[in-house]
A and B are shown apart, each in its own frame.
Chain A
Amino acid sequence: MEYSIEGNPDYGQLTVQLTEGEKFFAEGGAMAWMSNEVELKGRMLGGFFKALWRKMVAGESLFVSEYQHPSGGSVTLTPSVPGTVLQRTLNDESFILTAGSFMACTPGIKLKTRFGGWKAFFSREGAFVIECSGTGELFYNSFGAVLEKDVDGSLTVDNGHVVAWEPGLDYKIKKMGSLKTTLFSGEGLVMEFSGSGKIYLQTRTLNGLSKWLTPFSTP
């Protein structure tokens, strides 16, 4: 499957060239334009209960889109928020994404949702994470530009700023300082990563943008 990514870092877009019979999966609603006669179906990845769990825990759609073309065609996908589209080749390994970051993958990759923990659930950020494993191409996105960082030891990251990380890293969810700090600094919860691996961070969050816009909304 051939693909190309354009428009990074602000407006990443992914174009996939499908050959006859090839198929791939993408999050629902991501299609921007495509050749005619592309076959599009809704599929529950991981079976009904896993899909239902994803829906209940993070409001993600029960379904992913499956794309196929009888004679070859192309599909262009974009995320709903402006940012960077990233690609990773998995060779019988795994990679962890935060909930909204998943964009598309080839069929050899299995998606498993993992609960982020009750603390994360109540903070409405990082309520669940997606563990992608197998062999194939994985595409994911960030809000705004992305920073890649090598962690060897530990790193503390504000919840909404994590996009993805390699499996060599483990994390714990912690409050930043005291309750007073949490309330007044707006920092809320943080993820404390430890171990060794790469982590992908975004410098802006949608929540941050909405907090900035809120005072302007007219009563």
Chain B
Amino acid sequence: MEIQILGAGAFSSALVKLKPGEQLVSEAGAFFRGSSNVDIDVSTYAKSKKSGGLSAGLKRALAQESFFLSKYTCNDANDGEVGLAPKMQGEIAVIDCDGSSGWLCTGGSYLASTSGLEIDTQFQGLKGFLTGESLSFISVTGQGQLLVNAFGHINQIEVDGALTVDTGHVVAFQDTLDYKLGKAASSWLHSFLTSERVVLKFKGTGKIYLQGYNPDEFGHSLGPLLPYRK
């Protein structure tokens, strides 16, 4: 399987070359072009029983990922091609998961993965909801390549110690990092006054991918200018 990122910058897309017998999984709807010998099977597909089925699909939907995933295979002996594009404008990164650790990926950031990776959702728990943040991460384990998309420029940071991140900026991170919700400032008052409110505090050692821009913030800027929903 060969993965190429085209249009690097604001409007990236991924072009994947599949060999017969290989499988690629992507979020449903990401497909925009492909060779005619590629079959697309849309389902609540997952590698093992654990991450398939209705309840798993629901969990994924709650993680803000589409309910369905698409599975691509070649239907003849030739190589096939699949072009994938995210909904948001921004960059795409290919994360090589070598199996030494699992990865956690935010719902909106998951674009595609090779078949050696198992996809499951992990709930942040009630705490996530009380703060108004929806914090379900998709957990990715196994070996293979994970494609993630970001709103804006992707920053790859090696955390060794600690890092504080505004929640809307997380794309994906290694599960060797511990994370918990915390206040941005030392007091709730200042967290509110500075409009930073709740942040994710990461501790440990591992890689984290961050997106420069926060889709929610852009939504809040643009939303009020649009007419009311009736």
Interface on A for B, CB 8 Å cutoff? 6-7, 10-13, 28-29, 31-42, 61-65, 76, 78-82, 206-207, 209-210, 213-214, 217-219
Contact of A213 among B10, B152, B161, B226 (CB under 8 A): B226
Count how many pairs of residues, one from A and one from B, have CB atoms less than 8 Å apart in the complex.
128
| B207 contacts the other chain (CB 8 A) | no
| B68 contacts the other chain (CB 8 A) | no
List of A residues within 8 angstroms of B9 by Cβ: 10
List of B residues within 8 angstroms of A62 by Cβ: 193
List of B residues within 8 angstroms of A40 by Cβ: 184-186, 190-191, 194, 196
Taken together as a complex, chains A and B put the C-alpha atoms of A61 and B192 apart, in Å, by: 11
List of A residues within 8 angstroms of B230 by Cβ: 219
Taken together as a complex, chains A and B put the C-alpha atoms of A10 and B86 apart, in Å, by: 17
| B59 contacts the other chain (CB 8 A) | no
Interface size on B, residues (CB 8 A): 43
Contact B214 A78 (CB under 8 A): yes
List of B residues within 8 angstroms of A65 by Cβ: 194-196
Query: Taking A13-B212, A217-B229 as contacts, is the C-beta distance between A31 and B221 under 8 angstroms?
Result: no
Interface on B for A, CB 8 Å cutoff? 9-10, 89-90, 151-153, 155, 157, 161-166, 169, 184-186, 189-196, 199, 201, 210, 212-214, 217-218, 220-222, 225-227, 229-230
| 19 A-B pairs in the complex with CB atoms less than 8 angstroms apart | A7-B152, A10-B152, A10-B153, A29-B195, A31-B194, A33-B163, A36-B161, A36-B164, A37-B162, A40-B191, A41-B193, A42-B190, A63-B193, A64-B194, A65-B195, A76-B155, A80-B221, A213-B222, A217-B226
